[in-house]
Amino acid sequence: MKYYYFILFLFLSCVESSNIDLPIIGPSDFKEELVNNKVNKEQSHFVSDFELINQNGDTITNKDYENKIYVVDFFFTRCGSICPIMTNNMKKIQDKFLENDNLMLLSISVTPNIDNVETLKKYAKSKGVINSKWNIATGNKKHIYELARKSYFAVLKKGDGGLQDFIHTPNFILIDKKKQIRGIYNGTDDIEIKRVINDIKTLQIKNS
C-alpha cells in the first residue's frame, strides 16, 4: 500500500510540474536601461527577423528557426573570459537535446569584422558543434547589435553598432516557437544552465 501511494505521489508531482508555465518576457519586464527607447513597452514583443552567415558560409534566417525552441547568446572567438564558459555550457544544452529536433542553438559573434566564416568554422569544430543543431554566426555588425539591443534585450540600450561600439554579455536567451522570450539566464552559471534545460523541457511539454 505504501508503494502505491509513493507511485501516486510521483505521478501527481509530474502532472503538477507539467502544468508549470513560463512567463512571456517583454519590454516592461526589463530595467529601463536594457530597453531601447524605440521599443513600445505596452505591446507584445516578438524577436525580430534576422539574416546571418553561419560557420559553413550558409545564410541563415529566422526561417531556419521557425517552429523551433532555441537558445541564443552573443560571444566572440577571441574572448578569454566568459565566452569559453558560455560555449561549453551551450554544448551541454546541445548534447542534452541532441536527438530532439525541436531544439536549436544560435551563437552570434559581436566582432564580425574578426570572426569570419573560416574562423567560426575552426571554432565550431574545436568546440564540438553539431551543424544541424547549432549555428555559430556572423554578419553585419549594425544588424547584430540591433538584434542584441532591440530584439533580445541582451545588453544596454546605448550604442550605434559602429566601429567603437562593443557589447559583452553572459546572457542566454530562451525563445519559444512563437518567437517570444521565455527566459534569460547567466550562461556562465551551472545552476542557471540546469534551469534553462528544465525550462526547455517545460516548453516542449506545453507545445507537444
Q: How far is CA 92 from CA 34, 56, 182, in A?
A: 28, 22, 19
Q: Are 199 and 174 in contact (CB under 8 A)?
A: yes
Q: Is residue 99 part of a domain?
A: yes
Q: Three-class SS of residue 1? A: coil
Q: What per-residue confidence (pLDDT) applies to 136?
A: 98
Q: Is residue 172 part of a domain?
A: yes
Distance of alpha carbon 203 from alpha carbon 177, whole angstroms: 9
Domain count of the fold of the chain: 1
Q: Is residue 184 part of a domain?
A: yes
Q: Is residue 39 part of a domain?
A: yes
Q: What per-residue confidence (pLDDT) applies to 158?
A: 72
pLDDT, one tens digit per residue, over 19-39 is 468 999 887 766 555 554 444
Q: Which three cell numbers stand for residue 46?
A: 516578438
Q: Is residue 11 part of a domain?
A: no
pLDDT, one tens digit per residue, over 97-136 is 999 999 999 999 999 999 999 999 999 999 999 999 999 9
Q: Which three cell numbers stand for residue 30?
A: 526589463
Q: 51-53 and 171-175: which strand pairing? A: unpaired
Handedness of CA 113, 170, 183, 105 (dihedral sign): positive
Q: What per-residue confidence (pLDDT) applies to 57?
A: 98
Write out the residue range of the structural domain in which residue 103 sits. 24-206
Distance of alpha carbon 97 from alpha carbon 103, whole angstroms: 7
Q: Is residue 178 part of a domain?
A: yes
CATH number, domain containing residue 193: 3.40.30.10
Handedness of CA 147, 152, 158, 164 (dihedral sign): negative
Distance of alpha carbon 182 from alpha carbon 173, whole angstroms: 8
Q: Is residue 45 part of a domain?
A: yes
Q: What per-residue confidence (pLDDT) applies to 155?
A: 84
Q: Is residue 1 part of a domain?
A: no
Distance of alpha carbon 115 from alpha carbon 54, whole angstroms: 11
pTM: 0.84
In the DSSP assignment, the letter for residue 186 is E
Distance of alpha carbon 150 from alpha carbon 156, whole angstroms: 10
Q: What per-residue confidence (pLDDT) applies to 8?
A: 33
Q: Which three cell numbers stand for residue 202?
A: 517545460
Q: What per-residue confidence (pLDDT) applies to 205?
A: 86
Q: How far is CA 141 from CA 6, 20, 64, 161, in A?
A: 56, 38, 20, 6
Please count the helices (runs of H) and the strands (runs of E) in the chain: 5, 7
pLDDT digit string (tens) for the chain, length 208 residues: 444 333 333 333 443 344 468 999 887 766 555 554 444 444 579 999 999 999 999 999 999 999 999 999 999 999 999 999 999 999 999 999 999 999 999 999 999 999 999 999 999 999 999 999 999 999 999 999 999 999 999 886 677 777 767 899 999 999 999 999 999 999 999 999 999 999 999 999 876 5
